[in-house]
Amino acid sequence: MKLKIAPLLLLALILFIVIVFSTTIGTAHISFATAAKIMLAQIFSIEKNWSMREETIILGIRLPRVLLAALVGAALATAGCAMQGLLKNPMADPYIIGMSSGAALGAALSFTLHLPTSLLSFITATITIFAVYRISKVGGRVPVATLLLSGIAIGSFLAALTSLLIYMARSPHQIIFWLMGGLWTSDWPKVKIASLMISLGIILLYRYSWNLNVMLLGEEQAQYLGINTEDVKRGVLVSSSLITAAAVSVSGIIGFVGLIIPHIMRIVTGPDHRILFPTSTLAGATFLVFTDTISRTILSPIELPVGIITASFGAPFFLYLLRKQGKKIHA
């Protein structure tokens, strides 16, 4: 499997351009060149020919949001890719085994109890995945079908509790907005924590690329080829849960990215996770930066939850690809 570097470089370049471009958009007009220079000046030494105000708008206000969008998009697309590969299920996304319901319950609790939302949703999401994994374990093995079903069962249970909290809440719109997903609470501390956890989890997942490829042939065959499939399952679940929980805790439940980006990349690159993972990461980041920019500008000064944009722009595009490709879609 010779790796193709060219598409990766191209996607990285597109991501950079979209990031810079997104920071130029907003009420105050700042040119693309100025925005690019302000950002590059953080790394290289560039002669300063812009105002302090422009620098504050780019670095203090717009950049953390754009970077957080990139991180969340990267996390969801990579985790979705891992779950689809592991479960061999084209319906799989990062939330499939109950992650979103766990996080949502934590967020709903945090609004009721006035506790930090990010922290609480991260904790409940992690506990949920841990519980689903333990419940699915039969005699040292975790059958994929059991994992899926117990994830769905626990997810429904937690969703019921969340609905109850919303119903009883004094200001239910807070919880509902959070559930729709959005990046309006972005700041640098969130960017720092999320980038640490998400890059760690993504690197861990990349290490399983080869084993995930072999496991696509079937678990028994993978075992015959010397892979300890239970170790791979545990490792992939832990890493993708880490990055999904990190993403959800800073942005709420943004749908669609984790489901569709890996499918689109699979159509382009084929099933090899060694190229599929990095392209999904970059495309997910680009996609969410792009859609978040639309969500904050399309009805300006009103801001839409980004989840509405990801689905309403992404779904038709995906359907177009599906028809054009005319192929069966696999995980």
Q: Min. distance of Cβ 188 from another protein in angstroms?
A: 36
CB closer to another protein, 143 vs 271 = 271
Considering only residues 146, 174, 223, 297, which one is a binding residue for another protein as defined by CB under 8 A? 223
Considering only residues 13, 17, 176, 217, which one is a binding residue for another protein as defined by CB under 8 A? 217
Residue 143 touching another protein (CB under 8 A): no
Q: Min. distance of Cβ 228 from another protein in angstroms?
A: 5
Considering only residues 45, 52, 113, 220, which one is a binding residue for another protein as defined by CB under 8 A? 220
CB closer to another protein, 61 vs 267 = 267
Residue 1 touching another protein (CB under 8 A): yes
Beta bridge partners of residue 138, listed in sequence order: 141
Residue 226 touching another protein (CB under 8 A): yes
CB closer to another protein, 190 vs 233 = 233
Q: Min. distance of Cβ 271 from another protein in angstroms?
A: 4
CB closer to another protein, 157 vs 210 = 210
Which of the residues 238 through 297 are near another protein (CB under 8 A)?
270-272
Residue 210 touching another protein (CB under 8 A): yes
- Number of C-beta neighbours around residue 120 at 10 A: 20
CB closer to another protein, 189 vs 218 = 218
Interhelix angle for 273-297 vs 63-87, to 10°? 140
Residue 224 touching another protein (CB under 8 A): yes
Where does this chain touch another protein (CB under 8 A) — which range of 171-179, 213-221, 280-288, 312-320?
213-221
Contact 250, 68 (CB under 8 A): yes
Residue 206 touching another protein (CB under 8 A): no
Where does this chain touch another protein (CB under 8 A) — which range of 53-61, 92-100, 112-120, 208-216?
208-216
Binding site for another protein (CB under 8 A): 1, 210-211, 213-214, 216-218, 220-221, 223-228, 270-272, 328, 330
